[in-house]
Amino acid sequence: MVTMVQALNRALGDAMRADPSVVVFGEDVGTLGGVFRVTDGLTKEFGPDRCFDTPLAESGIVGVAVGMAMQGLRPVVEMQFDAFAYPAFEQVASHVAKLRNRTRGAVQTPIVIRVPYGGGIGGVEHHSDSSEGLYAQVPGLKVSTPATVSDAYVLLREAIADPDPVVFFEPKRLYWSTAEIDLPASAPGSGRAEIRRPGSDVTLMTYGPSVPLALEAADAATAELGLDVEVLDLRTLVPLDEASIIDSISRTGRGVVVTEAPSFAGPAAEIAALAHEHCFYSLAAPIRRVTGLDIPYPPPAYEHHYLPSVERILDTLLDLEWEEPFTRAA
């Protein structure tokens, strides 16, 4: 039995063993092993020159990572929580993402920025943002977000080996999810979506923390509505596996995008637009979105209003154009 945290930890350790240019640093990642224990034991095994704590300054952390990359290192930095990554945004958008282009490829920035993200953990304010859309819109960055334990291992290893910078979004609420697998895990690489549940009536397109939710909703839709629901896990937002989205929607003719990120100008809007542009003649209904609300992430007592739920997904499925209107079983 392996947890997602263990898979991420093993991915970091294996990458550091395989490549001495990999260095890991951030806030509390050394002695403590990270507030989520993802870097547990790395300082002990690899020494304080390979995994270490830094002053508390996110822009500085990413900024020094840029300098290290200029010298051929592969820094993997941890932002302690989603909303605490914002101070580093200037370094990410102006340097990490652009240095390769600015220098016509003379300088690469093979930096991985790990961001624990998303809600559903009862966190007080500033601990539950889904900011992946902000980064997905910055040319030069890749954006990865695993939903399974195997993917956590495989996608992180791939991100570290990637010559391009990757913002690696780790769904906090899945940190303690488990799988019966052996490490090192195997899975397809980045840029490829995976069908987690095949279906023929409608496709739920989703990623990261919303994948288990979509699977639950798909089971409920089968049980309650007799619908055969496909669940497509996108796995990486940049690059996006457009072919798999187009293929699935062309087959089912209906789609709903499920994300925790807010709806307006968010990843779900991009995915819906893509499906409309490419699958217009196959569509029996407009692509719909079930997303976080366009409000600041609420306090724990209110977060059930914000988060996509099985209920909201089922309501949206019902609301798609069907030849025979549905009535829900119970």
Partner 1 sequence: MRTSADHHETSTTRLLPSPVPVRFLDEDGRLGPEDERGGFAIPTDEALLETYRWMAIGRRFDTEASALARQGRLAVYPSSRGQEACQVGGVLALGSEDWLFPTYRDTVSLVVRGIDPVESLSLLRGEWHCGYDPVASRVAPQCTPLATHLPHAVGVAWAARRRGEDVVAMAFVGDGGTSEGDFHEALNFAAVFGVPVVFLVQNNRWAISVPLEIQTHAPSLASKGVGYGVRGEWVDGNDAVAVTAMLADAVRYARAERAPVLVEALTYRMAAHTNADDDRRYREASEVDVWQRRDPVSRLESYLVNTGALVQDDIDAVAKESESLAERIRDGLAGDVREGADDVFAHVYAHPPERLMRQRADVLAAE
Binding site for partner 1 (CB under 8 A): 49, 54-55, 57, 59-60, 62-73, 75, 87, 90-91, 94-95, 98-108, 139-140, 142, 162-164, 191, 238-240, 242
Q: Is 304 annotated in the active site?
A: no
Which is nearer to partner 1, 49 or 180 (by Cβ)?
49
Count other Cβ atoms within 10 Å, centred on residue 257. Answer: 31
The DSSP element (H or E) to which 67 belongs, if any, is: helix 58-70
Which is nearer to partner 1, 68 or 193 (by Cβ)?
68
Give residue 235's identity as a one-letter amino acid code. Answer: R
Shortest distance (Å) from residue 160 CB to partner 1? 14
**Helix 310-319 × helix 210-225 angle, to 10°:** 50
What are the start-end ranges of the E strands in 165-228? 166-171, 178-179, 194-197, 202-206
Shortest distance (Å) from residue 209 CB to partner 1? 23
Which is nearer to partner 1, 66 or 185 (by Cβ)?
66
Shortest distance (Å) from residue 181 CB to partner 1? 27
Rounded to whole angstroms, the Cα distance separating 214 from 219 reads 9
Active-site residue, selected from the candidate residues 127, 276, 278, 304: 127
Rounded to whole angstroms, the Cα distance separating 276 from 32 reads 47
CB burial class (10 A; 0-12, 13-18, 19+) of residue 107? middle
Shortest distance (Å) from residue 104 CB to partner 1? 5
Which is nearer to partner 1, 100 or 173 (by Cβ)?
100
* Catalytic positions, written as ranges: 127
